[in-house]
A and B are shown apart, each in its own frame.
Chain A
Amino acid sequence: MTTYLKNIWEASATVFEGMAITFSYLLQRPITVQYPDRLKEPVPKTLPKNYRGRLMVDTELCTACALCQKACPIDVIEMKGARTERKKGLTLIYFNIYHGKCMYCNLCVEACPAEEGDEEAHHTAIYFKKDFEGSGYELKDLVEQFIPREEAIQRLKEAEETAAKRAAKAAAESAPAEPKKEGNA
């Protein structure tokens, strides 16, 4: 009989207690961040400094060394660098990132040697932007071409020209020495 009454009492007391807690939440403000429109400040601004959002490339800064491409375990980065007459080192021909496949592991960023900025605005050539919006209706929308297609074709042509020029130059330079080489061989 005591257990019987105790059971009833326990059940009602604990239910009472739980209901008091849930009721107290009715009197508190929800913590919801009303993305996308009803926001005090945009969500990316609330993210920490090193947040890994979308993978981006600073095409100006990039030296086209392809270290990131090698550092990526899953071939997300598709890039090519070649010599043109635009700048001294390698020029980017094209740089595509497949966001739909990226796993945001930070390995490419760690591999990148090109850095810029002070402590505050520090970023490497390939870096994570504090932005996460990138849905698309088709899979190809998720491939971002940092050098637009026309530009890339243009650059490729330039690179081919430069390569041809260099080849011609090299041929011209090495032409006299050619017989010598053959002789050596």
Chain B
Amino acid sequence: MTSATREKELKPRVEITQISGTEIEVNMGPHHPSTHGVIRFILFIDGEIVVRAVPDVGYLHRSIEKIAESMPYSFFMPYTDRVDYVAAINCNLGYALAIEAMGGLEVPERATWLRMIGVELNRIMSHLVGVGALPLDLGAFTPFVHALREREHMMDLLEILTGTRMNNNYIRFGGVCQDVDDEFLKKLEKYLDHFVLFLEEYDRLIGTNKIFIERLKNVGIVSGEKALSYSFSGPNLRASGIGLDLRKVDPYCFYNDMKFDVPVGKGIKGTVGDSFDRYIVRIEEMAECEKILRQILSKIKEGPIQSKVPKKLVLPAGEAYHHTESARGELGYHIISDGKSASPYRIKIRTGSFASMTSLAEIFKGMMVADVIAYFASLDIVAPEVDR
């Protein structure tokens, strides 16, 4: 592409400021087919163009952080599932790692491998919702259902691994709650063979589609610098061209033994950091997850799954912050313990979606209503992660 045509495409759609002068205030959400979950924007539109937007959060504020203060550390584990229900085990892991780091608990090797299987499977499932809901919001229903079908298969796997389809509450301090047999590992391997083919087909079905590309390219461009200033993390940050992955940068579990690439947005269809990049980064990341899972399968060994943990866990006084790479970016648990009681003094959860929300008001300006949907869907925001 020559620079001249590039320049032409970079220009935003015509912004008409003097034709009518009347803004219509429309309310999008909290119930609206495109706001997954309950997020609300108030859009001030002039014709089809958004003049300004006011995001309104809190419709799913369940005071999870406050509840944590009233119960023992181990009781809080099921609540972390609900922080990000699409990637529940990721949230389990972050909490467990934070507590283990603070309390100096041992984790057996097999338990870590199992945790990683759960986390990576869950990451794929979460990304499937992301890349599935994006075409859904652009009007294509079928790819979404195909993604759901793959999720069903994965939920079957998770069901064997953890016992439930969603909100697994799988990870315990110092281990996991149940073991699996070799049959599961074989099934997982078989499934991964299938999944590669699915990804390829999915990309042909929707990812290469001209209309889909036209709807996403050069929409909602977030440059790397800007993404950092919004404190983006995870796939959204990587789509903006910054290859920051906590699994590489600050490895936990056995991620430093794993060989995988960090997919980065390259702007193959438009500009670096546009909505299409956010889509393609997620697709590539799923392929990387598949690689990681295969390596785990080749390395996992028999052994105990739970170490000894005191029944009444009292953490030493002090505070700790532990972050992991969740499906929606950096998931950090900041835990403060007073050293006396069995419940935390304060827990603060840092989530990726909330950081993504901060960009909306600014990016929405000058967009068309249809692009608002596309940009919002490409961020893959889940409501409870915003509100908690």
Q: Are any A and B Cβ atoms less than 8 Å apart in their complex?
A: yes
Using Cβ atoms and an 8 Å threshold, which residues of chain A touch B358?
Answer: none
Residue of A nearest to B205 (CB): A21
- Min CB distance A2 to B, Å, is 11
Question: With A15-B210, A104-B164, A105-B78 as given contacts, are A50 and B205 in contact (CB-CB < 8 Å)?
Answer: no
Task: Say if the beta carbon of A95 comes within 8 Å of chain B.
Answer: no
Report yes or no: B78 in contact with A14, Cβ–Cβ below 8 A.
Answer: no
Report yes or no: B163 in contact with A10, Cβ–Cβ below 8 A.
Answer: no
Report yes or no: A103 in contact with B142, Cβ–Cβ below 8 A.
Answer: no
Instruction: Give complex CA distance A43, B87 in Å.
Output: 25
Question: With A73-B75, A105-B78 as given contacts, are A31 and B210 in contact (CB-CB < 8 Å)?
Answer: no
Task: Say if the beta carbon of B218 comes within 8 Å of chain A.
Answer: no
Task: Say if the beta carbon of A107 comes within 8 Å of chain B.
Answer: yes
Report yes or no: A51 in contact with B163, Cβ–Cβ below 8 A.
Answer: yes
Give B205-223 as 1s and 0s: 1 = Cβ < 8 Å from A's Cβ atoms: 1101111000000000000
Task: Say if the beta carbon of A11 comes within 8 Å of chain B.
Answer: yes
Question: With A11-B210, A103-B78 as given contacts, are A18 and B163 in contact (CB-CB < 8 Å)?
Answer: no
Instruction: Give complex CA distance A14, B201 in Å.
Output: 13
Report yes or no: A48 in contact with B159, Cβ–Cβ below 8 A.
Answer: yes
Using Cβ atoms and an 8 Å threshold, which residues of chain B touch A7?
Answer: 210
Residue of A nearest to B170 (CB): A106
- Min CB distance A80 to B, Å, is 22
Using Cβ atoms and an 8 Å threshold, which residues of chain A touch B178?
Answer: 50
- Min CB distance A26 to B, Å, is 11
Report yes or no: A47 in contact with B159, Cβ–Cβ below 8 A.
Answer: yes
Task: Say if the beta carbon of B167 comes within 8 Å of chain A.
Answer: yes
Question: With A14-B208, A18-B209, A21-B204 as given contacts, are A110 and B163 in contact (CB-CB < 8 Å)?
Answer: no
- Min CB distance B159 to A, Å, is 5
Instruction: Give complex CA distance A50, B159 in Å.
Output: 8
Task: Say if the beta carbon of B112 comes within 8 Å of chain A.
Answer: no
Task: Say if the beta carbon of A129 comes within 8 Å of chain B.
Answer: no
Report yes or no: B78 in contact with A31, Cβ–Cβ below 8 A.
Answer: no
Give B167-204 as 1s and 0s: 1 = Cβ < 8 Å from A's Cβ atoms: 10100000001100000000000000000000001001
Residue of B nearest to A13 (CB): B210
Instruction: Give complex CA distance A36, B204 in Å.
Output: 35
Using Cβ atoms and an 8 Å threshold, which residues of chain B touch A160?
Answer: none
Task: Say if the beta carbon of B340 comes within 8 Å of chain A.
Answer: no
Task: Say if the beta carbon of A178 comes within 8 Å of chain B.
Answer: no
Chain B residues 5-26 with CB under 8 Å of chain A are 5
Task: Say if the beta carbon of B32 comes within 8 Å of chain A.
Answer: no
Task: Say if the beta carbon of A54 comes within 8 Å of chain B.
Answer: no
Report yes or no: A15 in contact with B209, Cβ–Cβ below 8 A.
Answer: yes
Report yes or no: B167 in contact with A103, Cβ–Cβ below 8 A.
Answer: yes
Chain A residues 9-66 with CB under 8 Å of chain B are 10-11, 14-15, 17-18, 21-22, 31, 47-48, 50-52
Instruction: Give complex CA distance A3, B214 in Å.
Output: 14
Give B70-89 as 1s and 0s: 1 = Cβ < 8 Å from A's Cβ atoms: 01001101100000000000
Residue of A nearest to B142 (CB): A22
Residue of A nearest to B78 (CB): A105
Question: With A73-B75, A73-B78, A104-B164 as given contacts, are A14 and B169 in contact (CB-CB < 8 Å)?
Answer: no
Give B153-169 as 1s and 0s: 1 = Cβ < 8 Å from A's Cβ atoms: 00000011001100101
Instruction: Give complex CA distance A11, B211 in Å.
Output: 7
Question: With A50-B178, A110-B177 as given contacts, are A17 and B208 in contact (CB-CB < 8 Å)?
Answer: yes
Using Cβ atoms and an 8 Å threshold, which residues of chain B touch A51?
Answer: 159, 163-164
Using Cβ atoms and an 8 Å threshold, which residues of chain B touch A104?
Answer: 164, 167, 169
Residue of B nearest to A49 (CB): B160
Task: Say if the beta carbon of B149 comes within 8 Å of chain A.
Answer: yes
Partner of A106, one of B5, B71, B169: B169
Instruction: Give complex CA distance A104, B166 in Å.
Output: 10
- Min CB distance A104 to B, Å, is 6
Report yes or no: A18 in contact with B164, Cβ–Cβ below 8 A.
Answer: no
- Min CB distance B70 to A, Å, is 10
Instruction: Give complex CA distance A20, B201 in Å.
Output: 11
Task: Say if the beta carbon of A94 comes within 8 Å of chain B.
Answer: no
- Min CB distance A25 to B, Å, is 8
- Min CB distance A134 to B, Å, is 16
Using Cβ atoms and an 8 Å threshold, which residues of chain A touch B74?
Answer: 107
Question: With A21-B201, A22-B142, A31-B149 as given contacts, are A50 and B163 in contact (CB-CB < 8 Å)?
Answer: yes
Instruction: Give complex CA distance A3, B159 in Å.
Output: 50
Using Cβ atoms and an 8 Å threshold, which residues of chain A touch B160?
Answer: 48, 50
Using Cβ atoms and an 8 Å threshold, which residues of chain B touch A50?
Answer: 160, 163, 178
Chain B residues 114-173 with CB under 8 Å of chain A are 142, 149, 152, 159-160, 163-164, 167, 169
Q: Which 5 A-B pairs have the closest CB atoms?
A: A73-B75, A105-B78, A11-B210, A48-B160, A50-B163
Supply 21 A–B pairs (Cβ within 8 Å), ascending by A: A3-B5, A11-B211, A14-B210, A15-B209, A17-B205, A18-B209, A21-B201, A21-B204, A22-B142, A22-B205, A31-B152, A50-B160, A51-B163, A73-B78, A104-B167, A104-B169, A105-B77, A106-B163, A107-B74, A110-B177, A128-B163
Query: Known pairs A15-B211, A18-B209, A47-B159. 13 more at Cβ < 8 A?
Result: A11-B210, A17-B205, A21-B201, A21-B204, A21-B205, A22-B205, A31-B152, A50-B160, A51-B159, A73-B71, A73-B75, A103-B78, A104-B169
